[in-house]
A and B are shown apart, each in its own frame.
Chain A
Amino acid sequence: MSLTTFFTELSGPQMEALFAQPYAAVALFRSLPPPARHVLLRFAWTSGEVSTALVSSWARPEAEGKLSGALRQLTALRLLSQAAHSGGAVYVLHPSFQAQLRHVLCSGLSAELVAPAAAVLPSAPPAPPADDLSEYARQQWEALLLHVVDGSSPPPALPPGLQAEAGRGVDVPALLAGAGLVVKCEGAFTHTAITESGFRFLLADVYTQLWGVVRQYLAALGGAPGSSAGPDLAVALNFLLRLGLQAGRPMPLAQLGGAERTIAAHMAQLGLLLPASAPGGALWLHPTHLAAVLAGGGRSGEAAAGGEEGYVIVESNYRVYAYTTSPVQISILRLFVRVDALLPNLVVGTITRESATAALGAGIAADQVVSFLRQHAHPRAAAKPPIVPAVVADQLRLWQQELTRLGAQAATLYSRFESPELYERAVAHARQLGALLTSNPDRQLLVVPAGFHDAMRAYLRDRKQQLGLG
């Protein structure tokens, strides 16, 4: 889940509504790969229509694939569309997007962020220390992750002072259940259990996690992608992205509109905003690094690191040392590591065949485990590649392959061909279609996937008529 996938799911009017403000346009722009960004930049000052031939001539011969990949992505996002114009094919840039892009280019990013009523804004209180901000964000987000792992632990609580705006706050358990991360098990006593996608969620990077939750949150607001409730979704999403683009600039709660206030309170509960009282008693909200991650386009480095330091060291003897005291991190590690010792600041464990296959069986991919270990590597380990020893990474993949040694696939078996020639031709045709699963010339047997049955049947009928066998 990311910002770009979120946009592909939107309906036309919803996109139109989103581009009424620059934040969505900027965040979307930044989450695109560089070639796509530069293509958009070149489009910004045109009439919005550039002939496809001209656009494809922009690429160097050796990089044509990359440019056409970027163009495909832009078309999938509906930022560019192809049209015919005076005899030639042209790319047309989304007009509202172009308007926002031009606006940002002319007046700069932050110009937008100074509210029209800037003159009456009270001067901002000093920002809380960076440590407090990231500590608060970590604490709220970890509470949410812990709730995914263990349904009995309390979900993140609404910070005090925001009850007026948010009532009882976000119903985190319902949110997680809605996102398919946990399921409620009705039984002798009701409890929640983590699902396959919940496991994958835990191992994903913060950006993916955030978007998974935010998407569900927006859907719960009534603006599910594809539905018609456009304006609310636009307001909410633009507000969320504004938080991130405004990184480091606090906003007074009293200045926000009604809908935004509720969302702000909810985001404070999720750890994207830190509420703090100014000396005058007014409540100010300070965006944390999570807000920046949300709008940051999923590049690792700056956004994902967010002040969080790695803590995992993996040795080539499958030993895992994790310098952490966080219950979330320990329980995530427990998904695929057999914990041998819990010390005050250190977890020592081993990746064993049993622990790994248990995780793989629960729907986690080996690559996810490896990328998790890599992402959270201790700085000392990260300085010396390979961060995860090749033997460990390979073994995890081998264990995964072991689990999928046998696969079932619906297929059609053809036998009793009228003539050897017909058989040979049928095999050749199947091979040409890329549909040949197996064949046995001795027994004149041919197997193709079930999806190709119709094509094969039509071909065989034609052949039989040609050969006069029909």
Chain B
Amino acid sequence: MSTSEWEDDSSLLALLLDVSPAALARLASTPGLGLQSLLEQLLTFVNAFLLLNDANRLAVFTADAAGARLAYCSPACLPPGAAGAGDAAEATAWPPSVAVLAGLQQAATAAAGAGAGAPAATGGSCQLSAALSRALCFIQSQRRRAAAAAAGPGGGAAGGGDGATAGGAVDEMGGQGSQAARVLCLSGGTDVPSQYIAVMNAIFSAQRSGILIDACQLGPGHSAFLQQAAFLTGGVYLKPAKPQALAQYLNSVFALDARTRGMLRLPGAAHVDFRPSCFCHKRQIDLGFVCSACLSIFCEQLPACTTCGTDFQGKVKQ
């Protein structure tokens, strides 16, 4: 039988939903895609993802100007034996879509409460860097736990680990490495150039740990950050031509696991905007000055590098 060929197509998906006021206002006014329709289509995708494989794990984060919150995660992702054990039992009594919805609502109300005190630095857009880092940390912690659980039984004397293995080790029995993981950003806003460095750092760490970043841009214009994220991590960047058909984009492109993507044709990015932001004024630039020592980027000529302190006096010629 060919089943062994398909042994491990399960994956861990972190879904980032932009719930910043600017994004919500924009999504609500998109023709054919109200907030309710967006949520309905999103829940279809959640159901489809969980239907594809019983070992699939999901975490949903909401991101706004104040940071990122965990709205929902699969019961198997909860730390074993934590206080959440009771909640886990309760969570399985409900379909995940209901739990996701409840989590989103909770996060939205919390955001509304905190909204008054939120810094206006991002101009009402979401903290993409914070949200990405949060999602990456979550995936990393899941991987660590799985690795610890897998090492537990082989460790022989580590009898205490057995209780912990019951929940988490199962993912690891099939494959050598850890479960494939990816992040899907549903963004409704625009890039905030001041977050350039933090976002790039998050992208590079995702690239290093083999985590795909997919992006579905519902906001106005293209997002250079998300284009680069998808390009560098091998994910898919998509700006739906028909946002009202979001579910079809989600189900036929973003539901694919990493291995199946090698078999099916996917919409690719025709053009990736690689423009960086300068480190001094956080402006997006086409041409700039680069420090010869640390590769920091500046929009104007400086006497010395503000990052590493290298003296440019008399050495830099335009």
A interface, CB within 8 angstroms of B? 2, 26, 29-30, 33-35, 37-38, 41-42, 44-45, 57-60, 63, 66-67, 104-111, 114, 130, 245, 248-249, 292, 296-302, 305, 307, 309, 379-380, 383
The residue on B at minimum CB distance from A67 is: B263
Q: How far is the CA of A60 from the CA of B54 in the complex (A)?
A: 27
| Closest beta carbon of chain A to B113's beta carbon, Å | 29
Say yes or no: is B140 at the interface (Cβ < 8 Å to chain A).
no
Q: Are A42 and B154 in contact (CB under 8 A)?
A: no
5 A-B contacts (beta carbon < 8 Å): A110-B96, A245-B54, A299-B3, A301-B173, A302-B173
> Which of B231-239, B254-262, B281-289, B291-299 binds A?
B254-262
Say yes or no: is B141 at the interface (Cβ < 8 Å to chain A).
no
| Closest beta carbon of chain B to A372's beta carbon, Å | 14
B92 partner, pick from A111, A130, A248, beta carbons under 8 A: A248
Q: Are A249 and B92 in contact (CB under 8 A)?
A: yes
| Closest beta carbon of chain A to B1's beta carbon, Å | 7
Residues of B within 8 A of A2 (CB): 1, 3
> Which of B19-27, B43-51, B103-111 binds A?
B43-51
Q: How far is the CA of A250 from the CA of B3 in the complex (A)?
A: 30
Q: Are A57 and B265 in contact (CB under 8 A)?
A: yes
A299 partner, pick from B46, B166, B174, beta carbons under 8 A: B174
| Closest beta carbon of chain B to A255's beta carbon, Å | 15
Q: How far is the CA of A87 from the CA of B130 in the complex (A)?
A: 54
Q: Are B2 and A33 in contact (CB under 8 A)?
A: yes
Q: Bin the interface of chain B by size.
A: 35 or more
Across the A-B interface, give the 10 residue pairs with the lowest CB-CB distance, nearest first: A301-B174, A108-B95, A63-B263, A111-B95, A110-B95, A108-B97, A305-B173, A302-B170, A34-B9, A379-B154
Residues of A within 8 A of B171 (CB): 301-302
Q: Are A38 and B255 in contact (CB under 8 A)?
A: yes
The residue on A at minimum CB distance from B8 is: A301
Say yes or no: is B251 at the interface (Cβ < 8 Å to chain A).
yes
Given contacts A37-B52, A60-B264, contact A105 B2 (CB under 8 A): no
Interface residues of B in 159-175 (CB under 8 A from A): 166, 170-171, 173-175
B interface, CB within 8 angstroms of A? 1-9, 43-44, 46-48, 50-55, 92-98, 153-154, 166, 170-171, 173-175, 247-248, 251-252, 255-257, 259-260, 262-265
Q: Are A29 and B51 in contact (CB under 8 A)?
A: yes
Q: How many A-B residue pairs have CB under 8 A?
A: 135
Since A45-B248, A57-B265, A110-B95 are in contact, a sample of 14 more A-B pairs with Cβ atoms closer than 8 Å, ordered by chain A residue number, is A33-B3, A34-B6, A38-B252, A41-B255, A42-B251, A44-B251, A45-B247, A104-B51, A106-B47, A109-B96, A114-B93, A296-B54, A297-B3, A379-B154
Residues of B within 8 A of A107 (CB): 47, 95, 97
| Closest beta carbon of chain A to B78's beta carbon, Å | 14
Residues of A within 8 A of B53 (CB): 30
Residues of A within 8 A of B7 (CB): 299-301
Q: Are B97 and A379 in contact (CB under 8 A)?
A: no
Q: How far is the CA of A305 from the CA of B8 in the complex (A)?
A: 14
Residues of A within 8 A of B94 (CB): 110, 114
A105 partner, pick from B44, B96, B256, B259, beta carbons under 8 A: B44
| Closest beta carbon of chain B to A147's beta carbon, Å | 26
Given contacts A41-B252, A300-B4, A302-B174, contact A63 B262 (CB under 8 A): yes
Q: Are A33 and B174 in contact (CB under 8 A)?
A: no
Residues of A within 8 A of B98 (CB): 108, 111
Q: Are A26 and B264 in contact (CB under 8 A)?
A: no
Q: Are B259 and A34 in contact (CB under 8 A)?
A: yes
Max chain A Cβ within 10 angstroms of own Cβ: one of B3, B4, B170: B3
Residues of A within 8 A of B260 (CB): 34-35, 38
Residues of A within 8 A of B6 (CB): 33-34, 299
Max chain B Cβ within 10 angstroms of own Cβ: one of A35, A57, A296, A301: A301
Given contacts A30-B53, A35-B260, A60-B264, contact A300 B9 (CB under 8 A): no
A34 partner, pick from B4, B252, B257, beta carbons under 8 A: B257
B47 partner, pick from A45, A109, A307, A379, beta carbons under 8 A: A109
Residues of A within 8 A of B263 (CB): 35, 59-60, 63, 66-67
Q: How far is the CA of A130 from the CA of B80 in the complex (A)?
A: 13
| Closest beta carbon of chain A to B73's beta carbon, Å | 16
Q: Are A59 and B265 in contact (CB under 8 A)?
A: yes
Q: How far is the CA of A42 from the CA of B175 in the complex (A)?
A: 28
Q: Are B50 and A109 in contact (CB under 8 A)?
A: yes
Residues of A within 8 A of B170 (CB): 301-302, 305
Q: Are A26 and B8 in contact (CB under 8 A)?
A: no
Q: How far is the CA of A111 from the CA of B260 in the complex (A)?
A: 28
Q: Are B48 and A105 in contact (CB under 8 A)?
A: yes
Q: Are B252 and A42 in contact (CB under 8 A)?
A: yes
Q: How far is the CA of A249 from the CA of B46 in the complex (A)?
A: 21
Q: Are B55 and A45 in contact (CB under 8 A)?
A: no
Q: Are B153 and A309 in contact (CB under 8 A)?
A: yes
Max chain B Cβ within 10 angstroms of own Cβ: one of A29, A38, A45: A38
Q: How far is the CA of A81 from the CA of B54 in the complex (A)?
A: 27
Given contacts A34-B6, A45-B248, A110-B94, contact A302 B54 (CB under 8 A): yes
| Closest beta carbon of chain A to B172's beta carbon, Å | 8
Q: How far is the CA of A68 from the CA of B53 in the complex (A)?
A: 22
| Closest beta carbon of chain A to B101's beta carbon, Å | 10
